[in-house]
């Protein structure tokens, strides 16, 4: 992230970490929240080519075509992510730190959800193909088992925050791209199941203080060998998308100064630290 965004977001990193899952927690208190984290693209069409010709589609056109109830039911992820982007632009304009952080982290959440292929299909937990639990396998068990060896630093992949001209188109492109990976997510799982005929596919896994029935550790390892860098690569793409969107919204807002008081405060603190070190 370029100046002054890098310093601004770095300074608020603890807050961002603490609130990254707020959007999921809101599902319990806000009725429509649950529709904002996904889109069942295969409810619109089975073929990727056809989906690419249907989307992007504006919110008003979509409502005209399918009606509000149907759209909500199939999920409004990409439309809502775009709305959150527009809110972030407005927040930058008001220079209100709390508002900027709120919309920045919510945007990050919605956009990252769309990088999970299982957030783009109606078979989101493998319930239609006897693969229940595949959601947590992909988005929880694989990252938790391999985060130590994942290299998620965008710069080491030659990526830096980029100006995105058409944000609407970008969000839809990423969503369709994510959806194109879904067939492999399912087929690799079926392949590993076949190899595991005599071995345990599921096991009780202890996460924090909760004991949950998930895929066994051996299964997670075998699935990772099959699926390769897909999960890591989607995570890198989502990190890059988030920083580019945070940057683009700031440019769109007229590149305002961010938190001058805090910047001052930091330099005063640094001066004091230098004095102490001397
Ligand atoms: Zn979510």
Q: What is the pLDDT of residue 260?
A: 53
CA distance 139 to 230: 11
Cα gap 156→131, rounded to integer Å: 35
* pLDDT on residue 267: 58
Which pair of structure tokens corresponds to residue 162? 């980029």
> How remote is the CA of residue 114 from the centroid of ligand 1, in Å?
9
Total Cβ atoms within 10 A of residue 17:
10
Query: Mind listing the pLDDT tens digit for each residue in 47-82?
Result: 999 999 999 999 999 999 999 999 999 999 999 999
pLDDT tens track for 199-243: 889 998 888 888 888 999 999 999 999 999 999 999 999 999 999
Q: CA 41, CA 174: separation in Å to the nearest integer?
A: 13
Cα-to-centroid distance, 76 and ligand 1 (Å): 12
Share of the chain above pLDDT 90, in %: 84
Query: Of 140-149, 156-165, 201-210, which gets the smallest average pLDDT?
Result: 201-210
**What is the maximum span of the chain, computed from C-alpha positions, in angstroms?**
69
Strand partners, 214: 203
> From the CA of 33, how far away is ligand 1's center (Å)?
9
Q: What is the pTM of this model?
A: 0.91
Q: What's the confidence (pLDDT) of residue 205?
A: 87
pLDDT of residue 212: 84
pLDDT at 124: 96
Statement: residue 250 has pLDDT above 50: yes
**Cα–Cα distance between 224 and 190 in angstroms, integer?**
13
| Whole-number pLDDT of residue 264 | 47
Q: What digits encode the pLDDT tens for the residues 255-270?
A: 999 975 444 455 566 6
Cα–ligand 1 centroid distance for 243 (angstroms): 18
What protein residues have CB closer than 5 angstroms to ion ligand 1? 24, 37, 113
Question: How close is the Cα of 62 to the center of ligand 1, in Å?
Answer: 22
**210 SS3 class:** strand
Residue 248: predicted pLDDT: 98
C-alpha–C-alpha distance, residues 260 and 174, integer Å: 34
Quote the ligand 1 centre to 113 CA distance (angstroms): 6
Q: How far is the CA of 199 from the centre of ligand 1 (A)?
A: 32
Paired with 212 in beta bridges are 205
24 alpha carbon – ligand 1 mean position (Å): 5
Instruction: Report how far ligand 1's centroid is from the alpha carbon of 197 (Å).
Output: 33
Average pLDDT, the chain: 93
Query: Which tokens hold the place of 236?
Result: 């890198």
Give residue 37 CA to ligand 1 midpoint distance, Å: 5
**To 10 degrees, the CA torsion angle through 119, 121, 124, 130?**
-160
Long-range Cβ pairs for the range 20-29 (8 Å, 24+)? 20/105, 20/108, 20/109, 21/109, 22/105, 22/106, 22/109, 23/106, 23/109, 23/110, 24/109
What pLDDT digit, counting tens, does each position of 78-116 carry?
Answer: 999 999 999 999 999 999 999 999 999 999 999 999 999
Taking the C-alpha atoms of residue 55 and residue 157, their distance in angstroms, rounded to an integer, is 29
């Amino acid at each position: 992230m370029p100046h002054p965004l890098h310093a601004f977001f770095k300074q608020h990193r603890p807050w961002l970490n603490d609130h990254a899952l707020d959007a999921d927690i809101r599902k319990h208190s806000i009725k429509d929240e649950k529709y904002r984290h996904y889109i069942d693209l295969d409810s619109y069409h089975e073929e990727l080519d056809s989906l690419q010709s249907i989307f992007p589609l504006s919110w008003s056109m979509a409502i005209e075509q399918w009606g509000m109830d149907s759209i909500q039911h199939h999920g409004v992820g990409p439309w809502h992510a775009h709305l959150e982007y527009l809110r972030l632009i407005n927040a930058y304009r008001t220079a209100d730190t709390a508002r900027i952080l709120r919309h920045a982290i919510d945007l990050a959440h919605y956009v990252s959800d769309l990088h999970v292929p299982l957030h783009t299909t109606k078979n989101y937990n493998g319930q239609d193909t006897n693969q229940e639990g595949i959601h947590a396998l992909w988005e929880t068990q694989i990252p938790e088992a391999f985060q130590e060896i994942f290299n998620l630093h965008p710069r080491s992949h030659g990526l830096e925050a980029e100006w995105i001209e058409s944000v609407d188109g970008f969000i839809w492109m990423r969503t369709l791209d994510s959806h194109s990976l879904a067939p492999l997510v399912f087929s690799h799982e079926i392949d590993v199941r076949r190899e595991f005929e005599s071995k345990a596919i599921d096991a009780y896994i202890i996460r924090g203080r909760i004991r949950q029935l998930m895929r066994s550790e051996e299964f997670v390892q075998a699935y990772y060998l099959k699926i390769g860098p897909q999960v890591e690569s989607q995570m890198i793409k989502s990190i890059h998308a988030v920083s580019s969107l945070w940057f683009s919204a700031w440019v769109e807002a007229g590149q305002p100064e961010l938190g001058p008081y805090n910047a001052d405060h930091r330099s005063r603190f640094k001066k004091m630290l230098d004095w102490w070190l001397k």
